[in-house]
Structure 1
Amino acid sequence: MHVLFAASFILLQTVIFVKMDHNEQESGDKRRNICFLPKQPGPCKGAFPRFYYNKDNRSCEEFIYGGCGGNENNFKSKADCEKRCERPKQ
């Protein structure tokens, strides 16, 4: 009985570990995908300075956000954009 319980516990821990690793990988993929979205100011008429990651220049650049719509490649600060999208210098 104890052996069965121990085996079940080990199997459960393995499944949880594999699932957590898979979620972290998906999160990293989503992070990169956000950074490759195009600049989108949105349809509204506001004028909010924001930053987006320019995949062609490989840098974060300022743009004017209208205040609604757009996409997730939209950061309130250059530091937030760089933290999310720029690769560490090697």
Structure 2
Amino acid sequence: MDRLCLSAALLVLLNILVAGAQRSDTISPSQRRPVFCLEPPYKGPGKAVFPRFFFNTRSGVCEAFAFGGGRAKLNNFLTKDECTRVCSGRKPAFETEDKLQAQPELKDEPGDKTEEADLIQVPVCQSLEPEDQDGYEAEKPEDDDYDIEDDGEDDGEDEDDGEDEDDEEDEEDEEDEEEPQD
């Protein structure tokens, strides 16, 4: 796994564990915000234009930006709702219910300290090979089985014949010069 992806996953896991250890009623929404929400938007090394959202710490809301592609930072979300849910500390007005459905229902028993948590979606890391980071494909090797100069047809003209005649004329001129003159 890419080191950046692994670091991001560990950061998210650590943030979830720390947030779970604190009581949600004693901390403000800004204190519940993950650290990566404080990062500025990262446009990426690519030249594409993907509409994405980031949490703007100055305005306190999620805003659109153009992501160029390549390796994404964590403050890079596909939807405004997802950005708001993760970074603002409050739920958006129109939110679909994202709960873990595959988990068995837990029964509250005296002494249990469990809370239901929203599912956090983290952007998938994207990786380009180093030679592809500028957005262009690497050169592909030529096919050695095909010779573009020889089409396999004999058109009856031999280029070497003309050259041989020129060579013979040059030799005759040289012989004429070598003959002694009386």
TM-score greater than 0.5 by the shorter chain: yes
Q: Deviations over 1:49-71 (max 9, x none)?
A: 00000001100000000011241
- Unaligned regions of 5+ residues in structure 2, if any? 1-14, 22-30, 92-182
Please name the residue that 2:39 is paired with: 37
Larger RCO, structures 1/2 (Cα 8 Å, 6+ apart): 1
What's the TM-score once normalised by structure 1's chain length? 0.64
CA distance in 2, matches of 1:23, 1:88: 16
Do the aligned partners of 2:53 and 2:83 also contact (CA within 8 Å) in 1?
Answer: yes
Contact 2:84 2:90 in 1 (8 A): no
Residue type matched to 1:43 in 2?
P
Larger radius of gyration: 2
Name whichever of 74-83 and 31-40 sits farther off. Answer: 31-40
Runs of 4+ aligned residues of structure 1 deviating over 4 Å after TM superposition are 26-29
The structure whose residues are more often strand, as a share, is 1
**RMSD between superposed Cα atoms in Å:** 2.9
Q: Which runs of 5+ in 1 are unaligned?
A: 1-21
**Aligned amino acid, residue 76 of structure 1:** L
Counterpart secondary structure, 1:84:
helix
Higher helix share: 1
Write the mapping of 1:66-85 to structure 2, written as runs, cut at 5 A.
Answer: 66-85=68-87
Q: How do 1:1-90 residues align onto structure 2 when only pairs under 5 Å count? A: 24-25=17-18, 32-88=34-90
Instruction: Go from structure 1 to structure 2 and tell me whether the alpha carbon gap of 1:23 and 1:83 turns closer, same or farther (over 3 Å shift).
Output: closer
Query: Using the alignment, how far apart are the partners of 1:27 and 1:69 within structure 2?
Result: 29
- Letter of the aligned partner of 2:87 in structure 1? C
In the alignment, which residue of structure 2 is the partner of 1:15? none
Identity of aligned residues (%): 34
